[in-house]
């Protein structure tokens, strides 16, 4: 039987070409964006593309100039992100491990939400006890809570999960 692989091993092969078309060298910046800018700003901004400067013809060994990171940001948060641009560049460069981003360009516009809020599922008292009894032996609290949410979603009659 094959060993289970982490989901992260499948992300790059699936979206690698689409990310490369936008100038990113990998999915690391896109995937870890909320960790880089913080949860609050990560919800209202997203990296769009990295624009690399063209190298002069005939100079393949020329020292590469830092790239420009284009970030879409919603409304008034653009001003806050503009003030945090130097810190943001340091954090992005730390993720890549070298000084690849030298400038940030902000584009105002709507940001696609990755985690839409799902409606809370409701079940009866008997089903709730059944879920609690089934998950009681699980020692890890976060895992038990996740299993209880799953059980509630499976047993609810509110429609498809």
- Structural domain boundaries of the chain? 10-54+64-108, 125-155
The average pLDDT across 63-72 equals: 84
How sure is the predictor about 83, in pLDDT bands with cuts at 50, 70 and 90?
very high
- pLDDT above 70 coverage of the chain, percent: 73
Rounded Cα distance, 45 and 34, in Å: 9
pLDDT of residue 43: 87
CB 92 within 8 A of CB 69: yes
pLDDT of residue 65: 79
- How far lies 122's CA from each of 2, 39, 116, 154, 155, in Å? 38, 28, 19, 11, 9
- pLDDT for 23 beyond 90: no
Rounded Cα distance, 57 and 51, in Å: 18
CB 71 within 8 A of CB 47: yes
Give the number of other CB atoms < 10 A from CB of residue 55.
13
How sure is the predictor about 104, in pLDDT bands with cuts at 50, 70 and 90?
very high
Rounded Cα distance, 11 and 20, in Å: 13
Lowest mean pLDDT among 58-62, 86-90, 105-109: 58-62
pLDDT of residue 115: 56
- Dihedral of the CA atoms 74, 76, 79, 81 (nearest 10)? -40
DSSP 71: E
How sure is the predictor about 122, in pLDDT bands with cuts at 50, 70 and 90?
confident
DSSP 112: -
- pLDDT per residue as tens digits for the range 34-62: 888 888 888 899 998 888 887 767 666 55
pTM (predicted TM-score) = 0.55
- pLDDT for 68 beyond 60: yes
5 phi/psi in degrees, rounded to 5: -105, 150
Helix and strand element counts for the chain (H, E): 8, 3
Architecture of domain 10-54+64-108: 2-Layer Sandwich (3.30)
pLDDT of residue 113: 67
How sure is the predictor about 71, in pLDDT bands with cuts at 50, 70 and 90?
very high
């Amino acid at each position: 039987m094959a060993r289970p692989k982490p989901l992260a091993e499948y992300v790059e092969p699936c979206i690698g070409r689409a990310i490369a078309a936008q100038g990113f060298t990998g999915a690391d910046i896109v995937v870890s964006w909320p960790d880089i800018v913080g949860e609050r700003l990560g919800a209202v901004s997203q990296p769009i593309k990295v624009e690399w400067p063209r190298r002069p013809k005939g100079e393949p060994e020329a020292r590469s100039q830092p790239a420009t990171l284009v970030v879409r940001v919603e409304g008034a948060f653009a001003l806050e992100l503009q003030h945090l641009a130097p810190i943001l560049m340091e954090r992005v460069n730390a993720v890549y491990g070298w000084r690849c981003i030298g400038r940030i360009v902000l584009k105002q516009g709507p940001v696609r939400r990755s985690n839409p809020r799902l409606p809370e599922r409701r079940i009866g008292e008997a089903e709730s006890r059944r879920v609690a009894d089934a998950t009681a032996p699980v020692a890890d609290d976060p895992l038990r809570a996740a299993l209880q949410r799953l059980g509630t979603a499976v047993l609810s009659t509110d429609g498809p999960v």
